[in-house]
Amino acid sequence: MYLFWYIIYDNWLLKDGWVDHFLINHLVASTSFILKILGFTVFTYADAVGIDGTHGVLIGAPCNGLSLFALFAGFIIIFPGKLIQKLVFIPVGILIIHIINIFRLVGLALVVLYNPESLEFNHKYTFTIIVYAFIFVMWIIWVNKFAIKKE
């Protein structure tokens, strides 16, 4: 699965860039929307979003969630289970990962506002642990509820 992902991403998706740009644009718009709902004045610029008066958060291709989608989907694909359940569980899981990533960016924008010196730590550790923990929980749900168990 990793080799398959590597071939597809490095030889097609990365060069074309449309998937990365689409995800980043959606993350910027969604993060901005939530921050505005929370009452903040927000700025956006291409691949950045933030609260006015801060430097904001830059969203690069490694942080747009695409590799997490592939990791999650790959695990579900290779683990035993009914095809129809996989065809439902994978898109739902990817949607959940995307929503978590939006809230991660909202959190990082708030960190930049209230405690900017902790941005690097929170980006590298706190939010990474949270995102991977949710993915792990979804895998556990798959294994316990949907995977075909050999007897």
Chain segment 5-46, per-residue pLDDT in tens: 666 666 665 556 778 889 999 999 999 999 999 999 999 998
Cα-based angle 99, 110, 34 (whole degrees, multiple of 5): 40
Nearest to 25 by CA among 112, 98, 120: 98
Domain boundaries of the chain, sorted by first residue: 2-146
Alpha-carbon span 64 to 74, nearest angstrom:
17
pTM of the predicted model as reported, rounded to 2 decimal places: 0.87
